[in-house]
Structure 1
């Protein structure tokens, strides 16, 4: 659990995190299916990862794993994450290896995807078209630092708002995927920041939009929980920066301590849905009028 928390804070992407978790778990990385042998296993899954790779969803407990102990060690070293000496030794000797493609214990198994990020974006696009908006789905596989992804979306929205884009207004720009947040070192005496990747996306977006007229946005985690807080995400409006400034809130300060929750809560701009009990990854919608 400690290693998992450090991975979440490191900026590692979902593939890297799962590579490590598979090799430290007794059920992930195909081990659950191997443990069920010779029974035939049918897996019904909801995708919460870019590209819908079934070996990554929930760390693939019933799917063969192509990654190795060496890969897991490389990731741990890259992000400076310590592991107990005994576990490191087992990884180095390859003793924690997972079932690989072609493993006879996994033959004849089936995997069915019943909900995916792309389906959620298509449903949102249909809802937007129904009220007369042009819709543009960027991708369901967008990754990267949340604040930087927010800046890219802001650039697209600004171009559309200024009539310098192939995106015809009024429109909604939609995207999904799984961004990351690299948690900044905490400064002594500074309050601990709260928030998740959806909120941090909104901070980066609001900063880059700089109050341009005619652009609103929503970013949320489809499971209803952004990070460890009680909100699913946040909203951005043309007057977000001005309302925040009136309360003495600065985007730069909150980005510096990864404190999206502390920025949007006083504005009343947190999106609170409660747990949805499902998860098809991040959801982002930018409305340009």
Structure 2
């Protein structure tokens, strides 16, 4: 991969992230001022930056609490920003969630709650239901993350095992009106799936949760399973009259970010094709499909004519077979690199738009037809690394990690494949 190609792919990522910039995303979406108080709450890997932008744009008094991932906080003048763990919750997240609940306690119908929700909020809002504790929620999250289940299945379970998810946070704020401003990181931009929908009524129930556990053979702690059998109530449903005055707006999404990247490519003389903004499935399997399309274009100029760019978004998953290091984007790209090995003229970047892929310090990585050779030259067998879920080590050895740092937003996976 030439420096120019790497720079081009980086520019595409930058354009995608800029399209979800908090200041731009909020434009035109501020609710009207209430008769009473304005309380701002938020959770997610991009929630602090969104709160900072909201605070600057809001004319009038406000207060509130925002929870974000360690290292993602930014200063706010009137809003309290608390950092906690992601993707597995910790005690800081549990304490922060209680502060969020305290901030919306005792409000009345004249008050307004603005909920700033971005991806990652599910782990950051830790509030196990009565009879369970933080260790149960931690074990549940670890099991879900290792299961390979799609985000919709994981959320169907999470919503039934929480005091805040699945619309329960909004219920705690009522009778105040709740306006939710969402940065979507989920396939299809379903508001109820972002951060497990803390302010959005749930369309799934405990039967759906149990069905997901069975379908994906997820092994959950006995306490969680018992709760799903004995809990007195499902998460609140959309027909609950308590939600009648609430409003939910998706203010940034993967679709808009991919369109921004495509527009930039066009100015560089490269035609872009957006395959989908809602891809789901095992990362290594999605990689094989992308690689097959890229090889077909390179060899036969179909279904698109080269030079061209393939773009896709969504949220892949990884079934953990071993305890290697790396996230879903680097796993995708390692499988992709193996599938295009020896094919010239194909260059790719896969990265998480929040700047961190999984729990490591990279957003993703770069790869081309020579990447696997570079890994072997550095003493890493790429096929073995993929089998061990150790993509981070493989790309580190080949000096191909992509490390932009926290971006301040999160519209999930970004994949760009350039075919010369």
TM-score (norm 1): 0.94
- 1:217-244 Cα distance to aligned partner (Å, 9 max, x none): 0000001111110000010022112212
Task: Give the C-alpha shift of residue 80 in structure 1.
Answer: 3.2
Q: Is the 8 A contact 1:244 1:267 kept in 2?
A: yes
What residue number does 2:415 align with?
284
Q: Is the 8 A contact 1:151 1:205 kept in 2?
A: yes
Task: Detail structure 1 runs of 4+ shifted over 6 Å in the superposition.
Answer: none
Q: Is the 8 A contact 2:161 2:227 kept in 1?
A: no
What residue number does 1:209 align with?
340
- Measure the CA separation in 1 of the matches of 2:206 and 2:294: 43
Aligned length: 282
SS at match of 2:188: helix
1:260 to 384, 391, 410: 391
What residue number does 2:320 align with?
183
1:67 to 170, 183, 204: 204
- Measure the CA separation in 1 of the matches of 2:227 and 2:142: 21
Task: Give the C-alpha shift of residue 134 in structure 1.
Answer: 1.1
1:83 to 214, 217, 221: 221
SS at match of 1:166: coil
What residue number does 2:67 align with?
none
Q: Is the 8 A contact 1:24 1:96 kept in 2?
A: no
1:27-176 alignment, distance < 5 Å: 27-77=164-214, 78-85=216-223, 87-176=224-313
Task: Give the C-alpha shift of residue 84 in structure 1.
Answer: 3.3
Task: Give the C-alpha shift of residue 82 in structure 1.
Answer: 2.4
Q: Where does structure 1 lack aligned partners over 5 or more consecutive residues?
A: 187-191
TM-score (norm 2): 0.65
- Measure the CA separation in 2 of the matches of 1:134 and 1:75: 40
